[in-house]
Chains A and B, each alone.
Chain A
Amino acid sequence: MTSLRTPLGWVLRGMAVLGFVYLLGPLLVIVAASFSDTGYLAFPPQGFSLRWYQAALADQRYLNGFFVSLRLGLMVAALSLVIGTAAAVALTRFAFPGSTLLEALFLSPLVLPALVLAVALTLFFAANPIAPPGMTRLVISHLLVGVPMVLRVMLPVLRRVDPAIEEAARNLGASPIKAFFLVTLPVLRPGLIAAAALAFIFSFDEVEMALFLGSVRDAPLTVVLYGAAQMQMDPTVAAVSSMLILLALLLMVAQQMYANR
């Protein structure tokens, strides 16, 4: 690191430290504030108390919201994984005219603002009520981003897998379906886990489509938090936020440990 022992190196380092504080500081602030023994949001916290956590866990809206988000995230992850991987297999293993165009179309929701998708879907469902408001609408709407996320992970993974190993299994007498499940699928497993995690996190954290397409009864946690944060500076929101930060940390660590195994 010779070049970093110069004045420029120190300027860069100083700015990098500043960047880190800026990036992670607010998350620490919220965790610290959630333990404050005051009736209002205080940072630096005064005293130490778990009462805002008690309040959060006793509040039916947050509890209900958490389970709605959990159900939503799991369903979107599972469906995106199946639909996205099937499409990725078709796009990489079968040459057909227009496949590049179809791939570009399938990936395009990733570059469009979530809010534009949400408005278009709101107008669409108003004119064509093909799904009841609430959970069903939210799941199928989230698939519009979940499937491209799975595709973006699985397309390069599938292109790297050598089709020869599948052929070898076939030559040894396995049917095409058996060869796929016994040979190709285990190779794809890390990619599949990463893709499912991405789709889950997207759906669990998403707020725009949830605000537009969810119902009051099936309000995901992000929507409940968005409403609560708008109303007042309530320490309960800080407690719920801290629990979500902890959950994200656990998920990230789990994913890392799995990926490095």
Chain B
Amino acid sequence: MNGDLNARRGLIAAGLLAPAALIFATLFIWPQLGLFLQSLGGPPTFSRFLGDSYYLGVLGNSLMLGVCVTLVTLVLGFPLAFLLARAETRWAGLLLLLTTFPLWVSAVVRSFAWMVLFFRSGVASRLLQGTGLVPPDFQLIGTFTGVVIALAQVLLPIMIVTLYAVIRGVDRDLEHAAMNLGASPAVAMWLVTLRLARGGVLAGSLLVFSLSVSAFATPSLIGGARAHFMAVTIYEQTLELLDWPFAAAIAAILLVISLSVALTYGKLLGEKNR
């Protein structure tokens, strides 16, 4: 009787899991394994990537983009997240909602907004031309700086949401206690809030870094024809040059970067929970 019941429960569980399991087996595990096999078979693809200074430059560009975007989102995101987490007005909820609003809009649309500002006679490019620091026909489209500015804006809401959750968890009384003991607000924030929120700072940074390194739409649209970034290179190799083994190899390298970042992230969260 008991065995029957267990068998029936097992059958129900298997039935509930079957559709998801089928999708993941055929469309996730198989293709990801195929990607590695494809990159290993045929001509030596990894040594071609790692032995070519152009492709190493692409990898370097993407990693540099990740570092720059992470720094910009941290510097702009922390004050916003801190004020939102500490605000006591009923506007705080609305403001938090507004910061996450861009996430509802496609990255293509958000990148196009920056193109409007960045092209030769766009406001941002004209402002820079006005300073005289750049040549008169300068435009931010096609520059690394332009990609950093646009991608940091696209990913800023993700940083803010991550930081907000952690800062909310930091006890305000600890900040007050530090100030009562004679610390200035700046020192209290540095010694207490930032220290206690450092797990969140790290988590948000890893998340934004990983997303920046593999970003496609923004680097491709803002970077234009000279967008030497990992995802754009994979796109060109797959759909334009049709060199699939090589595209698979670059994708595998990107996959390894993302996975190591994700594992670090998971390990950090695990240590925090212990």
| Chain A complexes with chain B | yes
Contacts from A to B (Cβ < 8 Å): 1, 3-4, 6, 8-9, 11-13, 15-16, 18-20, 22-24, 26-27, 29-30, 33, 41, 43-44, 82-84, 86-87, 89-91, 93-94, 96, 102, 105-106, 108-109, 111-117, 119-124, 126-127, 130, 140-141, 143-144, 147, 201, 204-208, 211-212, 222, 225-226, 229-230, 233, 237-238, 241, 244-245, 248-249, 251-252, 256
Instruction: Kindly specify which of B42-50, B109-117, B128-136 makes contact with the partner chain.
Output: B109-117
Interface residues of B, count at CB 8 A: 85
- Decide yes or no: A83 and B23 within 8 Å by CB, A8-B185, A123-B34, A256-B97 being known contacts: yes
* A residues near B17, Cβ cutoff 8 Å: 86-87, 90-91, 102
Is B106 on the interface with A (CB-CB < 8 A)? yes
- Which residues, 75 to 94 on B, are CB-close (under 8 Å) to A? 75-77, 79-80, 82-83, 86-88
Across the A-B interface, the 3 shortest Cβ-Cβ residue pairs: A113-B214, A26-B113, A205-B106
Additional A-B contact list (20), CB under 8 Å, known A8-B185, A27-B102:
A1-B88, A4-B86, A8-B186, A15-B76, A20-B98, A22-B153, A44-B123, A87-B19, A87-B20, A96-B10, A106-B20, A106-B24, A111-B265, A116-B254, A120-B251, A141-B27, A144-B28, A205-B108, A207-B217, A245-B105
Is B258 on the interface with A (CB-CB < 8 A)? yes
Instruction: Kindly specify which of B53-61, B195-203, B234-242 makes contact with the partner chain.
Output: B234-242
* Cα of A225 to Cα of B107 in the assembled complex, Å: 11
* A residues near B185, Cβ cutoff 8 Å: 3, 6, 8-9
- Determine if B116 and A23 form an interchain contact, defined as CB atoms under 8 angstroms apart: no
- Which residues, 3 to 48 on B, are CB-close (under 8 Å) to A? 9-10, 12-13, 16-17, 19-21, 23-24, 26-28, 30-32, 34-35, 38
* B residues near A23, Cβ cutoff 8 Å: 99, 102, 153, 156-157
Q: How far is the CB of A226 from chain B (nearest CB, A)?
A: 5
* A residues near B31, Cβ cutoff 8 Å: 117, 120-121, 123-124
* A residues near B156, Cβ cutoff 8 Å: 19, 22-23
* Cα of A34 to Cα of B30 in the assembled complex, Å: 45
Interface string of B180-212 (1 = CB under 8 A from A): 000011101100000000000000000000100
Q: How far is the CB of B38 from chain A (nearest CB, A)?
A: 6
Query: In the complex, which residue of chain B has the Cβ closest to the Cβ of A79?
Result: B19
- Decide yes or no: A19 and B77 within 8 Å by CB, A1-B86, A111-B262 being known contacts: yes
Q: How far is the CB of A100 from chain B (nearest CB, A)?
A: 13
Is B179 on the interface with A (CB-CB < 8 A)? yes
Q: Which of A82, A114, A207 contacts B108 (CB 8 A)?
A: A207
* B residues near A19, Cβ cutoff 8 Å: 76-77, 79-80, 156
- Determine if A147 and B114 form an interchain contact, defined as CB atoms under 8 angstroms apart: no
Q: How far is the CB of B217 from chain A (nearest CB, A)?
A: 5
Is B151 on the interface with A (CB-CB < 8 A)? no
* Cα of A86 to Cα of B23 in the assembled complex, Å: 13
- Determine if B105 and A248 form an interchain contact, defined as CB atoms under 8 angstroms apart: yes
* Cα of A41 to Cα of B115 in the assembled complex, Å: 10
Q: How far is the CB of B148 from chain A (nearest CB, A)?
A: 12
- Determine if A248 and B34 form an interchain contact, defined as CB atoms under 8 angstroms apart: no
* Cα of A226 to Cα of B88 in the assembled complex, Å: 41
- Determine if B23 and A140 form an interchain contact, defined as CB atoms under 8 angstroms apart: yes
- Decide yes or no: A24 and B101 within 8 Å by CB, A12-B79, A116-B254 being known contacts: yes
* A residues near B102, Cβ cutoff 8 Å: 23-24, 27
- Determine if A114 and B216 form an interchain contact, defined as CB atoms under 8 angstroms apart: yes
Q: How far is the CB of B141 from chain A (nearest CB, A)?
A: 10
Most buried by B among A16, A33, A229: A16
* Cα of A159 to Cα of B20 in the assembled complex, Å: 19
- Determine if A212 and B217 form an interchain contact, defined as CB atoms under 8 angstroms apart: no
* A residues near B97, Cβ cutoff 8 Å: 252, 256
Q: How far is the CB of A129 from chain B (nearest CB, A)?
A: 13
Most buried by A among B23, B106, B123, B247: B106
Query: In the complex, which residue of chain A has the Cβ closest to the Cβ of B104?
Result: A248
* A residues near B111, Cβ cutoff 8 Å: 229
* B residues near A127, Cβ cutoff 8 Å: 34
Q: How far is the CB of A243 from chain B (nearest CB, A)?
A: 10
- Determine if A84 and B20 form an interchain contact, defined as CB atoms under 8 angstroms apart: yes
- Decide yes or no: A26 and B153 within 8 Å by CB, A86-B20, A140-B27, A245-B109 being known contacts: yes
